[in-house]
Chains A and B, each alone.
Chain A
Amino acid sequence: MIERLGKFYRLDISFVTSHFFYTPFPPFICNSMLKFSFLVSLLILIPSLGSAQTKADHEMYVCADLDLGGGIKWVTVNGIFRRDGVNQYTTITRDTPGICDVTFDPKDHSHFYAASINGPLATYNAARSWRMGADWTMTESRSIHVDSGSDDHIYVGLPDGFAVSDNKGRSWIRKETGLPLRGKYTQVVSVDSEHAGRVLIGTESGIYLTENTASTWKRVFATQAMVTDIEQSPLDHSLWLATSKKDGVLVSHDNGNTWEKMKSQVTHALFNIALDSENPNRFAICGFYEGVLTTEDAGKTWNVRNAGLPPQYEVMRIAIDPDTHVLYAALNRDCIYSSSDFGRNWKKDGLIHSIVYQFVFVPRETK
């Protein structure tokens, strides 16, 4: 993929490996000198592809508003940014409409789908262009996910329900049988990594489960306020955890079929939960007034991990890198912080003056 970075273009190796043979020239490379330079670059870069594959197994993407006003005047652009290292966040797309979540086609990362204020968006050329697949009846999508078994099926959570695309986001249809008429504000969509067509959603009225690609839903946990996040354990697929506005942390040990509240000292809304891919007892949660809390004993005890963060510790989002196990915390209008010791110490990691809505770790494309 080639991206425009100010006056320069950046060549992304992973894009080239998947697309080079099909699209030798991005559309904007129109003069012969540029084409020549492009081919020379490829000749230089292709031998290094092997080394690129030796990097971490996942790429980290961030959906965020970024302040161009330098923290003095709040002038934002919204977009998707990829972390390439400490203080190295590369713009994948900017000036896009309110993107708060993104999901990638596992086989082709130039195809990805975003939950945005314009409803679900799809790109088939690494964000050089977009398709607003839904019409005016779907807006302000909150969460989006590709099905674990079918790359064609995309799920999107809406403030007034849920919709599915069976054609890679070109069009969308509501699938809400079993959801309530009111109370179906869907904040989070989480797919079962092991079973195609099996999806859990977190809504205003609880957690709902479908096992038939959203043809029907059943409520598996009732709440009086938003379920804000649902995550499946990467180590034990029958273990699911969720966060909520008023019910704290929720846990399911039977693959999301039943849920119970987990003991914790939180009193305010939680925004999301992150699970470590190495230690099954390590989770982290966050909230605007709670900051960061971690557990290393599967939730028996929770540790406040705000020391080292700014005094307000208004944490919008948290994540654990599946490769390095670094803990990331996004502070409201501040920046992303990282911790290599699971929250005991923090350092600034970049994306200064940002509001982060989502961290997404994407397995590198299989070639």
Chain B
Amino acid sequence: MKKILLAGVILLNLVIQTASYAQPSSTAAFVAQPADADSSQRRAGYQARVHEMLTWGISTSAKVGSNDLVTVAAQLALKENLPYCSKKVIELMGIKEPGQKGNGPFWMFPVTTIAFLGKDVLSNEAKQAIREAWRVNMQTRGDTENHWAMYYSSLYLMSELYPHEPENTWYNGKSSDENLHESKEYLINWMNIATSIGQGEFNVPNYIAEYAIPMAMLATWAKDPEMKKRGQMMLEWIYSDFAANTLQGVIHGPNARADDISIVEPWNCMASNFAWLLFGNTPPTRGYSGWGVLYASIAQDYELPEVIYKIARSKQDPLLQEDLKRTRRRWRNSDVLMAPVYKTNYMTQDYAVGSYQGGLVDPIQTHGWDIMWNVGDPRGVHNTMFSMNPISSTDELETCFTAVPDEMPKRVMQEGKPSYDFPGKLLGSSRYEQIYQNLDTIVALYDIPEGTRFPHINGFFSKDLTSVTIDKSGWIFAKGGNTYLAYRPLADYTFQPISAEKSWLPGTSMKGGDKRLYSPHLKNGTILQVASAKEFKDFEAFKERIRSLPFVYRLEPKPTVSMTTIRGNRITCTFGQEPILNGKVVDYTQWKLFQGTYLNADKNAHKLTITHGNLRRVLDFNSVTTQDN
């Protein structure tokens, strides 16, 4: 796993570094594509953005002599500099130094891309070099859902490209037929799980590429019509979910695996690059977040269904989705292999609120809940608010990873998750947090045992909030864009500055910077209510409305809140018990796979209905068909 992650990080860094030389859309003033663009306008816009990415990749290559696989793929996609591509491929495939030759899914999927893009244009020697690399370089399969999607999609396609070859021609000692069979079986199994009980790595700000690219590869190059169709359908499945979870192109809400940067600056992640490319409604990120160029190399001719575009661009106000996802695989310390995740997404034109019910999803990177307010240009803006318990736990790591006891916290920080064992971190979720969301109200309760490493609450207060007011009532009021926010800590707290460089480190000054609400009490809680400014005469009216709402709580023996929300719903939340809404216990077991404004699917049905206005598209994995009407 560590080698894969490291290889991925190195390659990604290389791509991002080379990407920093020229990039018009990420730094230029942004003009969104019209939300009501017709199909030809959408098509032209998409192709222009693809072209920007590819030509940027090539020009960067010319300037700095970039030699990475992604740049070669971009050149092949544009059919430019082909002799150089052949030469470079031979060089890249021929690396013999231990630790530097290709290994794992982050090597496999760009090389597979090159193999297909170069099938008719690379020299025979270059193609032979690729083939030989797949014979001699043992490939690490990895340990995450995205690793396996990349690994098996790549192996599937390469086995189709080199059919019926004997076992001694593949790194894993299996024949082409064996590899093809195993890859297909895994991919279908994965799709079956995702379309029945939900994705494990759901709503991911950065890992979207690790799913979009392999699915686009299948959709573009699979010979088997079923796998080609499946690739296309999974891509639409992912994109429709993505579209429903973006507010003006910026992804929000709970997710399985976030990162320290996008946790405070939601725009600053790979997903924004995909929103720019597919929807045209937010600027791309620096360097197209690395893998963006590879995706553009593969999906030059991709056509996003109109219904998904409409969901991204013309949202009903408000939007409500209550969807089912699942946790990361739990090897131990759990009665179940994967637990259900109940995800809520509520969105208006001015803000979005999202959450899941709390508990362990991924032990390092899960983000439990947030509110994100809309901003004109999201670049550099920390338009989010949330709280969390920054637990660090070898037991939780052991639950999901196969590491030996005690050693892993130190390891993960040295291998790409630097904030994990810091008390000031904002990334991560906790089994000692229980969350309930009703529309735009969040109740997050904490019951942290003595002895827990980092037994406190971190609440994030952005530098971009205005009119922050600590009210006598106990509420903290603030404005974010056109949104009014009311944050109610349930235990004493202090505000601490956050480092401008690294969000998990203490800062030295409050001036102009983000703040951490620090509350060291084991029994604790956060209430957050938000509303659009346009709903109230002024900010004072919002405050008065919040103050007037019935609200009682106690922290012993278990944190409990009973309140009426800003929308008039009566909720009671007690840690360790199911929430009660308007006198009725919330029954999560009845949740469907998707239920809401745009996406609907029954649990275990393998069939998603995507709607917007009079547009309707059905992805039916039972028959492997799509239907529009």
Task: Give 6 closest A-B pairs by Cβ, nearest first.
Answer: A131-B173, A269-B405, A97-B140, A288-B406, A159-B331, A185-B332
Say yes or no for A39: interface residue by CB 8 A criterion.
no
Known: A97-B3, A132-B172. A159 touches B402 (CB 8 A): yes
Which residues of chain B come closer than 8 Å to A226, judged between CB atoms? 332, 398, 405
User: What's the minimum C-beta distance from A173 to chain B, rounded to whole angstroms?
Assistant: 16
Say yes or no for A192: interface residue by CB 8 A criterion.
no
Known: A160-B337, A226-B405. A76 touches B99 (CB 8 A): yes
Which residues of chain B come closer than 8 Å to A135, judged between CB atoms? 182, 185-186
- Are B140 and A136 interface neighbours, CB within 8 A? no
Contact pick for A142, options B137, B142, B152, B402, CB 8 Å: B402
Which residues of chain A come closer than 8 Å to B168, judged between CB atoms? 129
Known: A65-B2, A95-B137, A136-B152. A268 touches B332 (CB 8 A): no
User: With the chains together, A305 CA to B183 CA distance in Å?
Assistant: 49
Which residues of chain A come closer than 8 Å to B62, judged between CB atoms? none
In the complex, 15 of the A-B residue pairs with CB atoms within 8 angstroms, ordered by the A residue number, are A68-B99, A77-B3, A78-B3, A97-B104, A97-B138, A131-B167, A131-B172, A131-B173, A136-B186, A140-B143, A140-B402, A160-B331, A226-B332, A268-B406, A269-B406
- Are A204 and B337 interface neighbours, CB within 8 A? no
Say yes or no for B139: interface residue by CB 8 A criterion.
yes
- Are A136 and B98 interface neighbours, CB within 8 A? no
Contact pick for A98, options B3, B137, B337, CB 8 Å: B3
- Chain A contacts with B in 31-84, Cβ cutoff 8 A: 65, 68, 74-79
Given A77-B99, A142-B402, A288-B406, 12 more A-B residue pairs with CB atoms under 8 Å apart are: A75-B6, A75-B99, A95-B137, A97-B141, A117-B141, A129-B168, A130-B172, A133-B173, A135-B182, A226-B332, A289-B406, A316-B407
Contact pick for B1, options A79, A117, A122, A288, CB 8 Å: A117
Interface centre among A91, A129, A204, A316 (most CB of B within 10 A): A129
User: With the chains together, A248 CA to B182 CA distance in Å?
Assistant: 41
User: With the chains together, A117 CA to B148 CA distance in Å?
Assistant: 12
- Chain B contacts with A in 1-47, Cβ cutoff 8 A: 1-3, 6
Question: Which residue of B has the minimal Cβ distance to A75?
Answer: B99
Which residues of chain A come closer than 8 Å to B410, judged between CB atoms? 332
- Are A130 and B405 interface neighbours, CB within 8 A? no
- Are A95 and B103 interface neighbours, CB within 8 A? yes
Which residues of chain A come closer than 8 Å to B331, judged between CB atoms? 140, 159-160, 185
Residues of B within 8 A of A (CB): 1-3, 6, 98-99, 101, 103-104, 137-143, 148, 152, 167-168, 171-174, 182, 185-186, 189, 331-337, 398, 402, 404-407, 410, 414-415
Interface centre among B1, B101, B189, B407 (most CB of A within 10 A): B407
State the majority secondary structure of interface residues on A: loop
- Are A245 and B142 interface neighbours, CB within 8 A? no
User: With the chains together, A95 CA to B7 CA distance in Å?
Assistant: 12
Which residues of chain B come closer than 8 Å to A122, judged between CB atoms? 173
Over the window 124-149 of chain A, the binary record of Cβ atoms lying under 8 Å from chain B Cβ atoms (1 yes, 0 no) is: 00000111110110011010000000
- Are A159 and B332 interface neighbours, CB within 8 A? yes
Chain A interface size, as a band, is 35 or more
- Are A136 and B1 interface neighbours, CB within 8 A? no
Say yes or no for A183: interface residue by CB 8 A criterion.
yes
User: What's the minimum C-beta distance from A207 to chain B, rounded to whole angstroms?
Assistant: 15
- Are B1 and A131 interface neighbours, CB within 8 A? no
User: What's the minimum C-beta distance from B172 to chain A, rounded to whole angstroms?
Assistant: 4
User: With the chains together, A327 CA to B137 CA distance in Å?
Assistant: 35
User: What's the minimum C-beta distance from B234 to chain A, rounded to whole angstroms?
Assistant: 17
- Chain A contacts with B in 95-109, Cβ cutoff 8 A: 95-98
Which residues of chain B come closer than 8 Å to A316, judged between CB atoms? 404, 407
User: With the chains together, A96 CA to B139 CA distance in Å?
Assistant: 8
User: What's the minimum C-beta distance from A321 to chain B, rounded to whole angstroms?
Assistant: 23
- Are B406 and A287 interface neighbours, CB within 8 A? yes
Which residues of chain A come closer than 8 Å to B334, judged between CB atoms? 182
Question: Which residue of B has the minimal Cβ distance to A333?
Answer: B414
User: With the chains together, A52 CA to B407 CA distance in Å?
Assistant: 39
- Are B185 and A132 interface neighbours, CB within 8 A? no
Which residues of chain A come closer than 8 Å to B414, judged between CB atoms? 74
Known: A74-B415, A75-B99, A136-B186. A97 touches B402 (CB 8 A): no
Which residues of chain A come closer than 8 Å to B141, judged between CB atoms? 97, 117-118, 136, 139
Known: A74-B415, A77-B98, A131-B167. A314 touches B407 (CB 8 A): yes
Which residues of chain B come closer than 8 Å to A287, judged between CB atoms? 405-406
Known: A95-B98, A131-B167. A117 touches B6 (CB 8 A): no
- Are B332 and A204 interface neighbours, CB within 8 A? yes
- Are A76 and B185 interface neighbours, CB within 8 A? no
Contact pick for B143, options A65, A78, A132, A139, CB 8 Å: A139
User: With the chains together, A65 CA to B3 CA distance in Å?
Assistant: 9
User: What's the minimum C-beta distance from B4 to chain A, rounded to whole angstroms?
Assistant: 9
Say yes or no for A271: interface residue by CB 8 A criterion.
yes
Contact pick for A129, options B173, B332, B337, B406, CB 8 Å: B173
Question: Which residue of A has the minimal Cβ distance to B331?
Answer: A159
- Are A94 and B98 interface neighbours, CB within 8 A? yes
Say yes or no for A190: interface residue by CB 8 A criterion.
no
User: With the chains together, A28 CA to B606 CA distance in Å?
Assistant: 50
- Are A332 and B3 interface neighbours, CB within 8 A? no
Say yes or no for A210: interface residue by CB 8 A criterion.
no
- Are B98 and A182 interface neighbours, CB within 8 A? no
User: With the chains together, A183 CA to B103 CA distance in Å?
Assistant: 32
User: With the chains together, A94 CA to B138 CA distance in Å?
Assistant: 10
Say yes or no for A228: interface residue by CB 8 A criterion.
yes
Which residues of chain A come closer than 8 Å to B415, judged between CB atoms? 74
Which residues of chain B come closer than 8 Å to A95, judged between CB atoms? 98-99, 101, 103, 137-138
Known: A74-B415, A117-B142. A288 touches B405 (CB 8 A): yes
Contact pick for A288, options B171, B333, B402, B407, CB 8 Å: B407
Which residues of chain A come closer than 8 Å to B152, judged between CB atoms? 136
Which residues of chain A come closer than 8 Å to B173, judged between CB atoms? 122, 129-133
Which residues of chain B come closer than 8 Å to A77, judged between CB atoms? 3, 98-99
User: With the chains together, A77 CA to B152 CA distance in Å?
Assistant: 22
Interface centre among B101, B174, B332 (most CB of A within 10 A): B332
- Are B142 and A332 interface neighbours, CB within 8 A? no
User: What's the minimum C-beta distance from A76 to chain B, rounded to whole angstroms?
Assistant: 6
Question: Which residue of B has the minimal Cβ distance to A182?
Answer: B335
- Are A98 and B140 interface neighbours, CB within 8 A? yes
- Are A136 and B182 interface neighbours, CB within 8 A? yes
- Are A117 and B174 interface neighbours, CB within 8 A? no
Which residues of chain B come closer than 8 Å to A78, judged between CB atoms? 3
- Are B185 and A204 interface neighbours, CB within 8 A? no
Interface centre among A132, A183, A287 (most CB of B within 10 A): A132
User: With the chains together, A332 CA to B406 CA distance in Å?
Assistant: 11
User: With the chains together, A50 CA to B508 CA distance in Å?
Assistant: 71
Over the window 276-317 of chain A, the binary record of Cβ atoms lying under 8 Å from chain B Cβ atoms (1 yes, 0 no) is: 000000000001110000000000000000000000001010
Question: Which residue of B has the minimal Cβ distance to A122?
Answer: B173
Interface centre among A65, A140, A314 (most CB of B within 10 A): A140
